[in-house]
Structure 1
Amino acid sequence: MSIVDHLLDPFAYAFMTRALWATLIASVVCALLSCWLVLIGWSLMGDAVSHAVLPGVVLAYIVGFPFAIGAVVFGFLAVAMIGAVRDGGRVKEDAAIGIVFTSLFALGLVLISVTPSQTDLNHIIFGNLLGVSASDLIQIAILGAIVAVILLLKRRDFTLYAFDPTHAFAIGLSPRLLGAVLLALLALTAVTALQVVGIVLVVAMLIIPGATAQMLTNRFTRMLVIAPATSALCGVIGLYVSYYQDTSPGGMVVLVQGILFLLVFLFSPTHGVISKRRRHREHALADAAAA
């Protein structure tokens, strides 16, 4: 079998074609948002919101509403509960986040266990990339387009909010509103990636691409290009590997992202650990020679 045959063989099946498109959309959208999450320092908040939307998604399924509605409602509910626990006692923010998101995630698990369903709702937790239907793909595309358009149209405001919320307020922007919009987009993005990797691994797709791009460049505008490009590439590679090695496609996509981050962490020309040590050694030798 030639290389071209290897490349085209998986997509002789309609479910693999849908899986590819779902992976690309989710990878790009998650990577775009991850740039701001990493910049603001919302990695733990991303973990909290992505897990806390689970009961909202299940309740939306029960009443027949779109998943996105339940996800956004519980995303904001989680943020409000975190603030209430943090401000109402001696509990620090990281502990408040852990308490709230694990409790809501547990509620989602309980709801799944008691909800009669013709479909396996455990796919919400672990993803069901190969089971993406045409209607699922349309929902993923619509939600992904909404998130991407808002992020790109308001990128300057979001970036200013991330770097200097005080200055953003001084020029007439509302940091509180910008933060709320980002949280709403985070909830929508979690729903977008549900079918690909599930609730458990969504946080990886929301953090790893931005962290990888940050290791490769010091300019935020370049991060917005590097993160989606590398994330999409990892998605395609992960899908191919899962097809030929018969592994979990969602897990493989995230694993490839993790491997890429490790390589960048070690060998990035500017911020890589090995590159820094080599430059330090070269400078030490140059100083010794000059002396």
Structure 2
Amino acid sequence: MSRTRPDLRAVMVLLLATTPFLFGAFGLVGVILFPHASPLDLAPVHRHDSLAGWSTHRAFTGSGVIAWVTLITASLLMLRLVQVTTESILATRRIRRLLERSATRTASGRWNVPYAEPIALAVGLFRPSIFISNAVAEHLGPDGCEIVEAHERAHLARGDLWARFAMTVVCGLYPDRVVATLQQALILAQEQACDAAVSNSHSRLEIAETLVRMERSRGVRSHLCAGFQDADIALRVRALLEPDFEPLNRSMMRTSTISAVLIAAVFVALEPLHHKIEALFLMLGG
């Protein structure tokens, strides 16, 4: 995946993180619309014989306990998603308000922050804004400051903040190691994509030099904000000066093939899934 173009790779990483949710929703809709996978004629006869004995179980004995545990677990996972969503929104608002307390807004809509270290951030979901410290212009000069601002505006144009928010929410159910891997991959892809966008109007060498100079300051970091110094600077500089990405059509072909195989697999599994859901309701009903 590292040789996939950054703009496509960012989408692929986000889709990879949301795959369990997307296929879960697809399976739920499929169970309702195609409960017996009739287009494939996999089960011409619908049998409930194997479920008949389960209806005599009481809800809190035997298999009924398993059904209730499954239902409670699913409910707790949904509550966890709601919690992570709320915390992420509040954290984004808190960072924005903290920056706005001392910042002044310019005619272009950018916020100047009186901070001693060079920082550049795109913050916000519904009203995203760009915050750049005064030290950026002092350290990089007008041209460097223009590159930094163009990079942050590319984040806003691409909707990267919403992608990072979505990644944070879906990763609320994943182990920490998986979360770190997915977030790092998404942030690197987004940063490389924005670097490439800025290279349409500025020299790649100038962008690389600006990255190296800004790397000396770590500044404010948050996976909910898009900072100019985010991700691995060495990989970003290499992508700028020695781009080695595969053709877009090859990446699209591979992605489409994998997606088609997964969708077909879920479609084939609709009938057994339909029976499992029926069994669950029978056990819950007692």
- Of Structure 1 and Structure 2, the greater helix share is in 1
Superposition TM-score tier, normalisation by shorter sequence: under 0.3
Q: With structure 2 as the length reference, what TM-score do the two structures score?
A: 0.26
Q: With structure 1 as the length reference, what TM-score do the two structures score?
A: 0.25
Which one scores higher on RCO, CA 8 angstroms, separation ≥ 6? 2
- Of Structure 1 and Structure 2, the greater strand share is in 2
